[in-house]
Structure 1
Amino acid sequence: MVDVLYSLVDVTQRFDQLIFDPFYIHNLDMTSMMMKSFYDCNYSIEDKVLDRICKNILPRIHYQINELIIEQNSIERVLHTINYPQLYSLSLMDFTEEVLLKYLTDNTTLRRLLDEQITCLKLDFKYDTTLSISETSSIMFALILSLCKRLVKLNFYEFYERSRICTFEISSMNCTSSTLTELVINIETFDDCLYLLDGRLNCLSKLIINIQEIANTIGTIDNTVKKLPKLKQFSLMSYRRTACYDNLIIPLLRRMINLEELLLFLSIITEENYIDGIQLYDSILIYMPQLNKFSFSIDTCIAVHNIEFALSSNEDIQRSFIRKEYGSVYSQVEIFPREYKRRCTSCSLPYRFESRCHIYSLPYQFKMLFFLNNSFQGSLFNNV
């Protein structure tokens, strides 16, 4: 967008009429991405391009801009050059935590926009190998909710690989909103998930979360009784294995009685049989009568103990997905040889695994794949 404006403006009168026609320009992306590596991207535009846009273009289109994308190095020039009376969507790209917190705390122009106009906010942080779980990110999350009186949609990380992990164990934090309906966030624990769903975001209808680790909770927030009737869309992703599927994940999902869309990306440790279509229906789906879309990638690892039952075959698992709610499903079972089980133990894993099974809905919706071996069916994927 920036390159087009820079190259075509003031070339001819006809070009100017097209470029500045209010029917066409409502969204302005003031970034230009240069990828140095998978994690390290530069979104800054050249100074001469920025100068020309701020001087010759923004004064002619500012009144019609609805959505604006800006990065850390240009925010001063872009936001302080002129007002944007129709702006409601703001994306802040490639910011360090310290700089963004300073703007949220001290910058009157940004604070005024957040307070009076912004209904949709997206954040993206610079990649930093030294940061993971961040108290600063949690403070910014609470600050944004308190500043944004009209906020409806909040994406607290634009790209998972560059995201920060929030945690709400700080008792002094007050994260409440009576307007927020959609939230995308990366959190540390399952307690953080329960915290967000305890009623403080009482209009929330869409929640997309990545949980760093799903482990036993401290138990201060009820996860069994209170239903979540307003929640319509829920996405739960966690890349680490968890042994808390039965006592944490299932009770939470059963509270979502009006859910319409569900997405699960989980790796589960169990001493029982593989999770299959029958188990998913009896444990979860039967409690969601409004559900019309269910996407999943679930890896079940069977822990080695005294297994006294026969594990399901791949054919058994395929037959379990005959219900119309599932659509096309792929499954794969792998029985580990004895030497692999010993190798797992020597790597200090808390369990030895007898076997595992991976089930996922098609078309595949995720960027990662748990189960990759010589029998991988690459033909099932559009992108590999």
Structure 2
Amino acid sequence: MEGLPVELTDLPDEILLLILKKLDNTKVLYSFIGVNKLVHDSIFTNRLTVARCFSDDGPWPQSNNQILDQFCLQILPTIHHRIEWLNVEPSSLERILLCTNYPNLCGLGLYNLEKKIALHKTRLIHIFQNQISSLDIEFFRCKKSTLTENGNKDIFACILTVFSKLQYLHFVCCFFIDCLYLLDGRFDQLQRLSVDIDRILSPKIIIDNRKQLPNLKRFSLHCKWDTHKYNELIVPLLHRTSDLEELDLHLVVYSEKRFIDGYDLKYNIINHLLQ
């Protein structure tokens, strides 16, 4: 007897769960919401990337607005109480945040942000200011000819004002000065900071870079380009983080006078963290 065709939804929940866990959560919800209650599991609803346009391996192409419509009208209102983290883009941010309420939302990822849009949208997010404790920001990668050293100052001022309970922040931008803005002492409740930047240059404007950061426990700094500002900028910053428990540095340092080896790291950094 020839075998009968088997639908994916006919599989036992244990096997179906193993299959769905290997897929993107957004695609799972779009395909199975209303079909199988298994997709209401926290594995698929806790953290979502909901965007009209993302990278090539992202949820869907920009032209397919029908999918975004279904998320805003049906899917998100159905699972809103289960969502703890949302990754969104500026183009769909307002619609996604206002289509329902998110009582358990504590983390937010904002991608491809431009300054003008970010200032407007950040004010929109004030409705979650008492909920958001983790924030992931990726600024729009501007061309080299248009880079400005203080381009994100106003954005960080908004962040400081809106997200008063923020404990974790990860941001991707161009300049090291953005890191100094965030660590000028006003954001003293921050416990974890992860920074990915293009270049480390001496700031042309004066920033208060002396206050200690006793609450910062984990700090990660990754820089795309090499730098010769290790002694001038990196070491003084780390001297302010004497209570760090975890430190992750991914830097290419150019130094004419000496080789930065394990002894140098111990003398200039580790010993200060142990005080």
TM norm structure 2:
0.71
The superposition leaves residues 258-296 of structure 1 with CA deviations (integer Å, 9 ceiling, x where unpaired) of 33323331413233x423223333333333338xxxxxx
The superposition leaves residues 7-26 of structure 1 with CA deviations (integer Å, 9 ceiling, x where unpaired) of 22334xxx1x2123467522
Inter-partner Cα distance in structure 2 for 1:241 and 1:101: 30
TM-fit CA distance, 1:59: 2.5
State the match for 1:234 in structure 2.
Answer: 219
Letter in 2 for 1:269: S
Contact 2:48 / 2:87 at 8 angstroms: preserved in 1?
yes
State the match for 2:18 in structure 1.
Answer: none
Inter-partner Cα distance in structure 2 for 1:199 and 1:46: 44
Q: Of the two, which has the highest radius of gyration? A: 1
Inter-partner Cα distance in structure 2 for 1:29 and 1:76: 15
TM-fit CA distance, 1:257: 3.1
> Which structure has more helix as a fraction of its residues?
2
**Aligned sequence identity (%):** 31
Contact 2:77 / 2:100 at 8 angstroms: preserved in 1?
yes
Q: Root-mean-square deviation (CA), in Å?
A: 3.4
Q: In structure 1, the residue corresponding to 2:243 is in which secondary structure?
A: coil
**Does residue 99 of structure 2 align to residue 81 of structure 1?**
yes
Inter-partner Cα distance in structure 1 for 2:97 and 2:154: 23
TM-fit CA distance, 1:220: 7.1
Contact 2:115 / 2:152 at 8 angstroms: preserved in 1?
yes
Inter-partner Cα distance in structure 1 for 2:43 and 2:205: 54
Inter-partner Cα distance in structure 1 for 2:205 and 2:165: 33
The higher relative CO (CA closer than 8 Å, separation ≥ 6) is in 2
Relative to structure 1, the CA distance from residue 27 to residue 141 in structure 2 (aligned partners, 3 Å threshold; closer, same or farther) is: same
Map 1:39-50 → 2, pairs under 5 A: 44=62, 46-50=64-68
State the match for 2:10 in structure 1.
Answer: none
Inter-partner Cα distance in structure 2 for 1:200 and 1:287: 23
State the match for 2:200 in structure 1.
Answer: 213
State the match for 2:269 in structure 1.
Answer: 284
Work out which of the residue numbers 156, 160, 168 in structure 2 matches 1:141. 156
TM-fit CA distance, 1:136: 4.6
Contact 1:20 / 1:60 at 8 angstroms: preserved in 2?
no
TM-fit CA distance, 1:90: 1.5
Relative to structure 1, the CA distance from residue 78 to residue 252 in structure 2 (aligned partners, 3 Å threshold; closer, same or farther) is: closer
State the match for 1:312 in structure 2.
Answer: none
Map 1:196-345 → 2, pairs under 5 A: 196-209=182-195, 210=197, 212-215=199-202, 221=208, 223=210, 227-238=212-223, 239-242=225-228, 244-246=229-231, 248-264=233-249, 265-271=251-257, 273-289=258-274
Structure 1: stretches of 5+ with no match in the other structure: 158-162, 166-185, 291-384
State the match for 1:97 in structure 2.
Answer: 115
Work out which of the residue numbers 56, 59, 64 in structure 2 matches 1:35. 56
Contact 1:27 / 1:66 at 8 angstroms: preserved in 2?
yes
TM-fit CA distance, 1:142: 0.5
Contact 1:30 / 1:45 at 8 angstroms: preserved in 2?
no
Inter-partner Cα distance in structure 1 for 2:41 and 2:212: 49
Structure 2: stretches of 5+ with no match in the other structure: 1-24
TM norm structure 1:
0.54
Contact 1:188 / 1:211 at 8 angstroms: preserved in 2?
no
Number of matched pairs:
245
TM-fit CA distance, 1:135: 4.2
Relative to structure 1, the CA distance from residue 22 to residue 258 in structure 2 (aligned partners, 3 Å threshold; closer, same or farther) is: closer
Q: In structure 1, the residue corresponding to 2:138 is in which secondary structure?
A: strand
State the match for 2:171 in structure 1.
Answer: 156
Relative to structure 1, the CA distance from residue 149 to residue 199 in structure 2 (aligned partners, 3 Å threshold; closer, same or farther) is: closer
